[in-house]
Every structure is written in structure tokens, then in C-alpha cells.
Structure 1
Amino acid sequence: MESKRQKQVGKLIQKDLGEIFQRDFKSLFMGNFVTITDVKLSPDLSVGRVYLSFLKADNREDILQNIKENTKKIRGLFGQKAKNQLRIIPNFTFFIDDTAEYAQKIEQLFANIHIPPAEEDETSE
């Protein structure tokens, strides 16, 4: 269970990293649209798991690899932006958030289920 502080800092990181991605790292995304869907922090706020969503991207693994290769630069820019708000700048680990695709797959499975109508029982005496 995340504490209130973890949630607050997670939202700050999500907002600031989103701005950094839009402003400084557009070239890493190869023209695709990347959003930060969630940030989970360790209890001591030193490690952040950043979940990314890619819209209309066929090469998600390549984009994720580019982001992972530039993690130090991303953390440095975030540190400059949040130096007055956080005592410890977390180390970031980036992951693909596939919950939207999973939900869509489940919806499709439910749509394809065929349930025959129930037969009425004839119990006439």
C-alpha cells in the first residue's frame, strides 16, 4: 500500500517527466506518442518504477530501449527541475504499461462469447 507521500511524489514525477519527454526527448520516440501512465515509488522514495504507454507504436521495445539508454540524462534533467522539492532524486526504471491492451483483449473475448438462450422448463402437472 502506497503512502500519501509516495502518491504525491509519484504524481510530481509523472508531471515533470511528461514535460521533460515532450520538451527534450521527442527524438527518442521516433515520432510516436509516449505517455507516462503511472509512477510507483519505494517507501524511501529512492527508486521509481515508471510505466509508459505507447500509442500507435509498432516498435515499443526499441523506444523503451532508447529511453533506458538515456535514463541518466532523464534523471539529471528531472533532478534540475525538482531539486527544490525533493531531497532524494529517485533512480528510474522504465516499463511498458500494457493494461490498456490487456483490457481491450478481455473486452474482445467477452464480445465473442456466445451464450445460448436458456430453455424454459416444462413442468406442467
Structure 2
Amino acid sequence: MQETKRQKQVAQLVQEEMSSIFQRMGLNVVNGGMISISSVKMTPDLLEARIYLSLFKIPDQVAMLNSIKERGGEIRKELGNRMAKQLRRIPYLAFFVDDTLDYVFKMEEIFKKINDDEKKD
């Protein structure tokens, strides 16, 4: 199903505010690794924001994701303070790990291996 224009606008606004909140809370750089918000998808009723996090050089991604989920209420409250004038209802936050970067690295490694095998023949 296609995202509506309003869903895209709210998702963009939430992404910008969440990036700012993560920086302020010190969640963007943790244990020598980096956390960034790769994308935000809104449900059609705008009551849930699915936030996809890119975790770079974070050794235990599951523990980090659980830590962020535990602070979800605090993050949502901060989001509500910042977006109270733009939205009637502040969306619930659902956090997911965005593994597209890992997928890209894996694909590059496979292509490199194929290339090396072709050069040997």
C-alpha cells in the first residue's frame, strides 16, 4: 500500500525530531559505536511510528535495541513536548534494527569473491 503525502510529511518530521532527541540524550554515540535513524514509517492512522535504527559498530545490537525500547516512554514524552503544536496525538514508537547496511556489505563481499574467482579462471 502506498504511503500518503501526510504519512510522509509526519514521518520526515518525526525523523528530524528523533535525531535531535537522540543527540540530546546521548544515544547517537554509544560504546564507540554510532546509532542513526535510517528511516521512519508511519501507520495510516498516524498513531504508530516505526523507527528503523542503523547500528554501526555496536557489538551487541539486541541489547542496545532493548535499552532504547526501555527508554521509549521517555523518548516519546520528549517527542510530545517538541511536536505538540504539529500533531494532535503523539504516535507510539516502535524501534527496529535496519540491517540494510549489513546486507550491502555482504553483497559487496559476494561480488568481490565472484570477481576474484573469474580472474583466476
Same fold (TM over 0.5): yes
Kept in 2, the 8 Å contact 1:6–1:45? The answer is yes
Q: Which runs of 5+ in 1 are unaligned?
A: 118-125
TM-score calculated relative to the size of structure 1 = 0.86
Is 1:115 paired with 2:118? yes
- The answer to which structure has the higher helix fraction is 2
**Rg larger in structure:** 1
Identity %: 40
Work out the number of aligned pairs and report it: 118
Deviation of the 1:88 alpha carbon:
1.6
Change (3 A) 1:101 1:62: same
Do the aligned residues in 2 keep the contact of 1:32 with 1:54 (CA within 8 Å)?
A: yes
Distance 2:106 2:28 in 1: 30
AA matched with 2:45:
D
Separation of aligned partners in 2, 1:95 and 1:34: 12
* Between 84-93 and 27-36, the greater mean CA deviation after superposition: 27-36
TM-score normalised per structure 2: 0.88
C-alpha offsets along residues 68-121 of structure 1, whole Å, 9 cap, x if unaligned?
11111110000000000111211010000010110110111011113379xxxx
CA RMSD of aligned residues (A): 2.2
